[in-house]
């Protein structure tokens, strides 16, 4: 099968099927073989691996994954792409294509069915608007996974790996760093895609921790606390937590807990490390 990483081949497939890009799905197809090689290398795909690919598009990266992995399960929401995928992937007998919305799929059941419950590797070229819910879903449902290697908007990749006190630091940074070690492996300019996005992209690999780097008694409540802290960024942490109806914490309780930790009552959420959020959560809910 002709490699779709070569722009001419992608254009031929799109013309053959009269494919129209769907704005609502944020579709940008990769047309650069060197970037594809780097993604496969970064994800460290081997013949032992079962790979979950989210949003295969016309199968550009899927072809590379199918060559490298034992099995690929590709979940694609756009039903107009399914006949194209059946065509572009017809040479491979180790690919399963599912026309589903990844946010509604029972991914744990998929992993059980295709990999006997052993950890899978996730690889994806994700549209901007859905990056956070997909990553959070994979982590919060405790899907058995070794790593997530994804192409995302550059600023989102930056946000996943920054620390406290920076403007990009937020709930996503903390969640990613609680579950995994983030590492940007490539920056990808707009001209590597069809159609060309307006912003630069980056490939980031999130290597899942065996054990989170901090201990917390109730991880769900800690993340509710983190989300409330960043919901109103300009407010102090005490006000942010006191205003969050779902937490049922008074401003006095929040201020007292911060004082016990040796922190100022006027501190903002963006100043706290993951470790401090874990301690605060244990003090407030423990």
Residue-wise pLDDT tens digits, 226-241 = 999 998 878 899 999 9
Same domain, 151 and 228: no
The CA R_g of the chain, rounded to the nearest whole Å, is: 21
Where does a domain end: 208, 242, 258?
A: 208
Q: Is the pLDDT of residue 1 over 80?
A: no
Domain count, the chain: 2
Domain at 254, CATH number: 1.10.8.100
Q: Which of 63, 219, 189, 198 is nearest to 128 (CA)?
A: 198
Same domain, 16 and 110: yes
Where does a domain end: 163, 179, 208?
A: 208
In a domain, 2, yes or no: no
Q: Which domain holds residue 165?
A: 7-208
pTM above 0.85, yes or no: yes
Same domain, 176 and 224: no
What's the pLDDT at 21?
A: 74
Same domain, 82 and 11: yes
In a domain, 1, yes or no: no
Where does a domain end: 208, 235, 259?
A: 208
Distance from C-alpha of 126 to C-alpha of 134, rounded to nearest angstrom:
9
pLDDT tens-place string over residues 133-182: 999 899 989 999 999 999 999 999 999 999 999 989 999 999 999 999 99
DSSP notation for 4-72: TTSHHHHHHHHHHTT----GGGT--EE--HHHHHHHHHHHT--TT-EEEEE--TTTHHHHHHHHHSSEE
Same domain, 33 and 175: yes
Decide: 205 and 185 in contact? Cβ < 8 Å.
Answer: yes
Computed from CA positions of residues 116, 120, 124, 126, in that sequence, does the dihedral angle turn out positive or negative? positive
In a domain, 59, yes or no: yes
Computed from CA positions of residues 36, 41, 43, 46, in that sequence, does the dihedral angle turn out positive or negative? positive
Same domain, 179 and 280: no
Same domain, 26 and 83: yes
In a domain, 248, yes or no: yes
What's the pLDDT at 202?
A: 96
Distance from C-alpha of 109 to C-alpha of 111, rounded to nearest angstrom:
5
In a domain, 277, yes or no: yes
In a domain, 214, yes or no: no
What's the pLDDT at 66?
A: 98
Q: Is the pLDDT of residue 259 over 70?
A: yes
In a domain, 272, yes or no: yes
């Amino acid at each position: 099968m002709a490699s779709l990483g070569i722009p001419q081949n992608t254009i031929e497939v799109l013309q053959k099927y009269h494919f129209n890009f769907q704005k609502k799905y944020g579709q940008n197809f990769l047309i650069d073989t060197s970037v594809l090689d780097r993604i496969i290398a970064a994800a460290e795909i081997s013949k032992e691996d079962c790979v979950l690919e989210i949003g295969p598009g016309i199968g550009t990266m899927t072809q590379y994954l199918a060559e490298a992995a034992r099995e690929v399960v590709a979940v694609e929401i756009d039903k107009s792409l399914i006949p194209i995928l059946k065509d572009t992937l017809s040479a491979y007998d180790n690919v399963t294509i599912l026309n589903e919305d990844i946010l509604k799929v029972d991914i744990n059941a998929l992993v059980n069915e295709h990999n006997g419950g052993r950890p899978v590797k996730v690889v994806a070229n994700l549209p901007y608007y859905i990056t956070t819910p997909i990553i959070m879903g994979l982590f919060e449902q405790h899907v058995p996974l070794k790593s997530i290697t994804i192409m995302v908007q550059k600023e989102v990749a930056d946000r996943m790996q920054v620390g406290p006190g920076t403007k990009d630091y937020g709930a996503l940074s903390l969640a990613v760093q609680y579950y995994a070690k983030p590492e940007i492996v490539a920056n990808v300019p707009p001209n590597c895609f069809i159609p060309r996005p307006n912003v630069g992209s980056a490939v980031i690999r999130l290597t899942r921790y065996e054990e989170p780097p901090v201990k917390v008694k109730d991880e769900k409540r800690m993340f509710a606390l983190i989300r409330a802290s960043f919901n109103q960024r300009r407010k102090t942490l005490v006000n942010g937590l006191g205003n969050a109806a779902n937490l049922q914490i008074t401003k006095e309780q929040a201020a007292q807990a911060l004082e016990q930790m040796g922190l100022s009552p006027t501190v903002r959420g963006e100043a706290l490390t993951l470790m401090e959020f874990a301690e605060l959560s244990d003090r407030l809910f423990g």
